[in-house]
């Protein structure tokens, strides 16, 4: 299910106010899993990246993907921490 930019904009505003994905999902009557992914994206690339979701597909260099994947596989970082540290907007490149 796709959600519009207005929903993501409101979620970003609430994230900036310090709300987590659970309260935001509840307040907006949205699925928690979708809002959780939005929060991960928001933390990694900010509100601009969250608002641009679905417009363009991010491309990451081989080196960046390898570095981030090594950090996750080696137990140095969680997937979410690696997203934040390496500016990766989606979990997909790191879940493989």
State pLDDT tens for residues 7-33.
999 999 999 999 999 999 999 999 999
Q: Above 80 in pLDDT, residue 53?
A: no
pLDDT in tens, 61-72: 889 889 999 999
pLDDT for position 39: 95
pTM: 0.71
CA dihedral 12, 16, 21, 27 (to 10 degrees): -80
Q: How far apart are the first and last CA of the chain?
A: 22
Residue 80 pLDDT: 87
Containing 19, the helix (H) or strand (E) segment is none
> pLDDT tier at 1 (50, 70, 90 boundaries)?
low
Residues 6+ apart with CB under 8 A from 33: none
What is the torsion angle, in degrees rounded to the nearest 10, for the CA atoms of residue 4, residue 22, residue 36 and residue 78?
A: 160
Work out the burial of residue 82: count CB atoms within 10 Å of its CB; fewer than 13 is exposed, 13-18 middle, 19 or more buried.
Answer: buried
């Amino acid at each position: 299910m796709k959600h519009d930019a207005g929903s993501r904009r409101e979620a970003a505003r609430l994230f900036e106010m310090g709300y987590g994905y659970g309260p935001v999902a509840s307040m907006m009557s949205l699925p928690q899993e979708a809002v959780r992914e939005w929060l991960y994206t928001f933390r990694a690339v900010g509100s601009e990246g969250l608002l641009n979701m679905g417009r363009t597909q991010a491309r990451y260099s081989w080196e960046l993907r390898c570095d981030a994947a090594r950090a996750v596989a080696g137990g140095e970082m969680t997937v979410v921490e690696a997203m934040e540290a390496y500016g990766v907007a989606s979990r997909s490149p790191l879940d493989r």
